[in-house]
Amino acid sequence: MTQLLLATARALLRARLAAEDAGLLALLHPQARYQALGKEMVGAAAVAQELHAGGNGALARRLDWQEPVLVDRQVRITGARRADSRDRGLVLTLAFDGNAVVLVQEQRLPAPPADPLPLALPDALRRRVDNALVERHPMLMSHVGEGGQPVLSFRGSLHCHGADQLSLWVRSAEGGFVQAIRRNPRVAFMYRDEEAKATYQFQGRARVVDDPLVRQRVFDAAPTAERAHDFAMLGVAVLVDLDRVEGYAGLGPQGQVDPVFMLRQ
């Protein structure tokens, strides 16, 4: 039985790469289902059409496909990108009803690492950061606490301070965070918009700034709700020199939307 399922998987892959609807239909259960990120369909004809002409059809024909393997009574076939391309690989998982393929699940493998760009926050990302609290996407920050233990906290006062810096107003001038960054300035931030699936990570080095003009600018950039906690400006201005920024503006059928990867040169 195992050899029959593996042979069926090979035949389905050959038919897909040759864009042969008839060959695919002969192998698919009449009520076959197809599942991929953000997409699902039912029926052999719809599944066959998706396999050879859908979002991953052309990609599949550019990959180097490995021999199918049996995994927990399902068959898995992996298509690896060629060394001279930046394509993403694919993994097909096939489930069977008797000898017919009743379920095709397809997912893309992670993209190859992109070449980093010089660190300069694009305008769209700066707007996200500046409006994170107002738009109910407060940013999460990590710093190194006492004893080297990572500490997480949400920060509502974050703002872009130029093309390669973030700023935040810290109300407790001698609190644990300020003491921590004097010992170890390494910090990281996470932005997430669940509805858009936008996700960004920031890494950098934080420092307290005493210059009166910078203090005022950082305080004024904080949202009104944050400034209302410290009318007397008893806190401190903190600048973060960014070293690494990566993420994307959303997820679509082809994967990440507008990905960015930037490093300080």
Tokens of 16: 């897909």
pLDDT for 254 equals 63
| 104 and 165 assigned to the same domain | no
Domain boundary among 108, 125, 143: 108
Q: Could you give the number of structural domains in the chain?
A: 2
Q: What is the pLDDT of residue 256?
A: 80
d(CA 117, CA 245): 10
According to the model, what pLDDT value does residue 251 have? 79
CA distance 58 to 121: 33
Same domain, 103 and 121: no
| Cα gap 89→60, rounded to integer Å | 8
Q: What is the mean pLDDT of each run of 10 residues along the chain (265 residues)?
A: 91 93 93 93 96 91 95 94 88 95 94 87 96 94 93 94 96 92 97 94 97 96 93 96 95 78 94
So what's the pLDDT on residue 102? 97
What CATH number should be reported for the domain holding residue 140?
2.30.110.10
Range of the domain at 135: 117-263
User: Does 70 share its domain with 137?
Assistant: no
Structure confidence at residue 224 (pLDDT):
92
Question: Given 55, 88, 108, which residue is the final one in a domain?
Answer: 108
Instruction: Give the E-state strand segments of the chain in sequence order.
Output: 28-36, 39-42, 64-65, 69-71, 74-80, 90-97, 100-108, 117-118, 139-144, 150-155, 159-160, 165-170, 186-193, 198-209, 236-248, 250-252, 255-257, 260-263
| Per-residue pLDDT, 64 | 96
How far is residue 95's CA from residue 146's CA, in Å, rounded to a whole number?
Answer: 51
What CATH number does the domain containing 25 carry? 3.10.450.50
* Residue at a domain's end among 108, 143, 171: 108
Structure tokens at 32: 């076959």
